[in-house]
Amino acid sequence: MACGIIKGMNKHFFIAGPCVIENEKITLYTAEKLKEISERFKIKIIFKSSFDKANRTSIDSFRGPGIEKGLNILKKVKESFGFQIITDIHIPAQAKTVAEIVDVIQIPAFLCRQTDMIVEAAKNSKIVNIKKGQFMAPWDMKHAVQKAKKTKQCEVWLTERGVSFGYNNLVVDFRSLRIMREFADRVIYDVTHSMQMPSASNVSGGTKQYAKWLAFAAASVGVDGLFLEVHPKPEDALSDASVMLSLEEFEEIIPVILNHWEITDSYEKNS
C-alpha cells in the first residue's frame, strides 16, 4: 500500500476546523465556509475535528460523538466538500478504523512518546502528525519521528503547541520550529492550543487575543503549516471556547500570514 498523499499540497497549508465534532450540522456548516475561504484565497486547508476529546479537564466536559458517529460525519465532510481530513486517535486500536476515512492520523501531545500509538498509526500507510508534548524538548521529538519512519516510510509531521511554563501556562520557543525541520517532513504550529492556560479551573482558559500575532511570528520563522481551530460561534463551542477563532477571525488573518510566508520563502531561496 502506498503512503498517504495530500492532493494539491504546496509548500504551505492550514489545518482548520472545530475542536470537537459537536454535531453534524455545525461540522458541515464550518466545512462549507472553510471551503469558500480556501477557494477565495487559493489556499490548502486540511479539515480537522475530533470524534473524542479523551483528555478533557473535567469528567463532566463534552467529549464528542465517539468514533463511529464521528467518522461518519468526517466522511460526509470529505464527500461533500472534497477536503482531506486529519483527526486524532487515543488508543492504538483506533488507528486502523480511523485510517479508512482520514488522510492524516494525529497523535495527541500527551501521547507523543507512546510507541504503540505511533507504530499503529504508521502501519496504516497514512501521514502521521505527532503533536510535541508540552514536556518535550524539540530535539527529543526526533525519536518519535524515527518510530514512525522505521515502521513505514510515510511522511511524518511534527506540531508545536508550546511548552509548560510553571503552572497553567504555555510558552512557545520559536527556535523549535527550525530545529524540528531538520528531521521532520513538515513542521506545523498549533496556534490554538499554544494559547491555552491548561486546567486553570474545571475548564482550560486561554489568551486568544495573542493568536494572530503568534501565527504571524510562526509564518515568519518559516513553518510549513498552521493549525487553527475555528468555529461559527466560538463562545458557544463545547470545547476550547476560549481559544478558538471565529470563521471571520480566521479569514481576516490569512492575507497577513500569506505575506509573511512569501517574504520568508524569498529570503530562504536567496540565502
Q: What is the rounded CA–CA span in Å between residue 113 and residue 93? A: 16
Most trustworthy range by pLDDT among 48-62, 93-107, 160-174:
93-107
Looking at domain 13-270, its CATH class is alpha beta
Task: Say if residue 21's pLDDT is above 60.
Answer: yes
pLDDT digits (tens, 9 = 90+) for 155-184: 999 999 999 888 888 899 999 999 999 999
The CB-based long-range contact list for 174-178 (8 Å cut-off, 24+ gap) reads 174/217, 174/218, 174/221, 175/138, 176/132, 176/138, 177/218, 177/221, 177/222, 177/223, 178/221, 178/222
pLDDT category of residue 54 using cuts at 50, 70 and 90: confident
Q: What percent of the chain has pLDDT over 90?
A: 81
pLDDT tens for 225-270 read 999 999 999 999 998 888 899 999 999 999 999 999 999 999 998 9
User: Percent of the chain, pLDDT > 70?
Assistant: 96
Q: Are strands 170-171 and 127-131 parallel, antiparallel or unpaired?
A: unpaired
Output phi, psi for 103, to 5 deg.
-105, -25
Residue 190 to residue 130: CA distance in whole angstroms: 11
Res 168: pLDDT: 81
Question: 34 is written with which cell numbers?
Answer: 472553510
> Looking at the predicted structure, is the pLDDT value of residue 68 above 90?
yes
Domain ranges of the chain: 13-270
Distance in angstroms (rounded) separating the CA atoms of residues 61 and 174: 32
